[in-house]
């Protein structure tokens, strides 16, 4: 959808982009790891719908209450390394909104909304391990998060108007420099 930042390294060019799902990350989620040579793995067109389809089939087959989280690996701003995050979900709360509740000291929580979908994704990845080729993990003990009509992972995408880091540093500087240059040319 848009390029956020581009950097050239000795090993090649890295682009941080916003993909069609609204996820901002390297290479738009196109992944060549754990795929046959000469191929890449693309993200689902609608990960929430894919999660709903998988969930419906599992519930039908096993007659159990469960949620499905579809994950992808992503780097994090200002942190080295990567972790798995939730990109799709069905039947499970992925963003637990605790605003308005109180902490253990009785203070009202104003902004607290744990990204439990990302926490589930990361915990599952500890079991699957990046290079094992294991595509699925079962996480138990989170029945309190199972909700049939829970919204999918799109609720985790930060709205553009709330995104304080919309551009990479170099891109923001260039945009500001150009805006300043244009404003001085008009005077």
Structure tokens at 135: 């595509």
Distance CA 85, CA 93 (A): 14
Q: How would you list the strands of the sheet with 12-18, edge to edge?
A: 2-9, 12-18, 24-26
Burial of 123 (0-12, 13-18, 19+ CB in 10 A): middle
Q: What are the E-state strand segments in 19-165?
A: 24-26, 68-76, 79-90
* Domains observed in the chain: 1-43+160-187 (no CATH), 46-156 (3.30.1330.100)
- pLDDT tens figures, 114-144: 999 999 999 999 999 877 878 899 999 999 9
Tell me the whole-structure pTM to 2 decimals.
0.83
Res 1 pLDDT > 80: yes
* Residue among 165, 2, 166, 174 nearest 182 (CA): 174
Q: Count Cβ atoms below 10 Å from residue 91 Cβ, excluding itself.
A: 22
Report the sign of the C-alpha dihedral through residues 43, 21, 137, 126, in that order: positive
Mean per-residue pLDDT of the chain = 89
Q: Count Cβ atoms below 10 Å from residue 157 Cβ, excluding itself.
A: 14
Q: Which residues have CB under 8 Å from 155's CB, separation 6+?
A: 94, 95
- pLDDT tens figures, 62-107: 999 999 999 998 888 888 888 999 999 999 999 999 999 999 999 9
Distance CA 32, CA 40 (A): 4
Res 29 pLDDT > 80: no
């Amino acid at each position: 959808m848009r390029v956020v930042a581009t950097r050239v390294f000795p090993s090649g060019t890295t682009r941080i982009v916003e993909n069609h799902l609204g996820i901002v990350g390297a290479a738009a989620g196109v992944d060549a790891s754990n795929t046959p040579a000469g191929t890449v793995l693309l993200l689902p067109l609608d990960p929430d719908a894919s999660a709903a389809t998988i969930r419906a089939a599992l519930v039908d087959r096993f007659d159990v209450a469960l949620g499905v989280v579809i994950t992808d690996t992503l780097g994090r701003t200002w942190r080295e390394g990567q972790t798995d995050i939730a990109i799709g979900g069905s039947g499970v709360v992925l963003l637990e909104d605790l605003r308005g509740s109180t902490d253990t000291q009785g203070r009202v929580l104003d902004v607290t909304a744990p990204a439990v979908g990302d926490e589930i994704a990361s915990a599952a990845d500890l079991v699957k391990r990046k290079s094992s080729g294991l595509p699925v993990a079962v996480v138990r003990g989170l029945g309190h998060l199972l909700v049939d009509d829970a919204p999918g992972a799109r609720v985790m995408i930060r709205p553009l108007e709330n995104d304080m880091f919309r551009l990479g540093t170099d891109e923001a500087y260039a945009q500001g420099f150009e805006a300043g240059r244009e404003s001085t040319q008009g005077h």
